[in-house]
Amino acid sequence: MYDDSDGPAAAAARLTGRTARDERPLSGALAEVVLDDGRTVMVKRADGLEEARAEAAGLRWLAGADAVRVPIVYGRDGHWLVTDQIARGRPSREAALHLGRALAGMHLAGAPAFGSAPPGGPRDAYIGRAPMRNVEGADWPEWYAEHRVLPYLRSAVDDGTIRMPEAEVIERLCARLPDLAGPAESPARLHGDLWNGNVLWGADGHAWLIDPAAHGGHRETDLAMLHLFGCPHLDEVLRGYEQVAPLADGWSDRIALHQLFPLLVHAVLFGRGFAEQALSTAKAALER
């Protein structure tokens, strides 16, 4: 039986079966632990029990696509999650090209439905620190509006970050999604929170993905997230992607549609600046 009040070193020892020799806190929630066999592991303490469960299940699901590189999950119990440490390197055009190919392979591995959770993952999951409910749907525009846009819009209105009259532009965009969404696509296996901070450029010359909010979704959503917050050598990422899984015509015109979800999440978490960006993004998408 685990003791949820213990620290990172004890969690690492319990979940790896090795003795912990050193513990180096990186933040209030993250620490490096050196084991007696010389390995260094990352130990994260999540706020909620389901948060650790969701991340562990997401990493394993992405690894199961046999395409992208993700840290090995040694285990999780309670609030604790223990994974490999990835040695940091520098971005390169070659690594970006390979990342694009790998992302395409991950997406092509598919998902049972839009909104499906990874096997073993919870229905009530997280994107960053925000709750994210995994509810399955067959039609992407309807599912995206109902389960990825409107819940965060309502939260932003409720807390005053978006004023009620302003919300109308996002509601109009949701109503028009069937006409704006482009060709129908099968559900893809998404990382789900693919901003540049969750792409680690490894010392081994490869890009690694961490901290997923994995679920079944539209593949353009992951790529839109990379555009939103920037990514080194993004042109090479996209070139590699299209070599494996060419994107549908007009995909670049739809980037704003897919960015609305993370922008609203950030509005809920971080306030008015992201709310204004979400509103301007919705207006621009309606004008296309």
pLDDT at 2 over 70: no
Q: CA–CA distance from 92 to each of 24, 97, 179, 202, 236 (Å)?
A: 29, 9, 38, 10, 9
The structure tokens 């997923």 sit at 212
Contact (CB, 8 A) for 86 and 202? yes
Secondary structure letter of residue 248 according to DSSP: P
Give dist(CA 287, CA 280) in Å, integer. 11
Query: Could you tell me what percent of the chain has a pLDDT over 90?
Result: 93
The reported pLDDT for the residue numbered 278 is: 97
In degrees, rounded to 5, the angle at the alpha carbon of residue 226 between the alpha carbons of residues 50 and 82 is 35
- pLDDT exceeds cutoff 60 at 3: no
Whether pLDDT at 123 is above 90:
yes
Percent of the chain with pLDDT over 70: 98
Tokens of 110: 């598919």
Give the total residue count for the chain. 288
Mean pLDDT (whole number) for 115-134:
95
d(CA 107, CA 96): 16
User: Confidence band (pLDDT; 50, 70, 90) for 78?
Assistant: confident
pLDDT digits (tens, 9 = 90+) for 13-36: 999 999 999 999 999 899 999 999
Q: How confident is the model at residue 96 (pLDDT cuts 50, 70, 90)?
A: very high
pLDDT tens readout for residues 179-235: 999 999 999 999 999 999 999 999 999 999 999 999 999 999 999 999 998 899 999
pLDDT for 47 beyond 90 = no
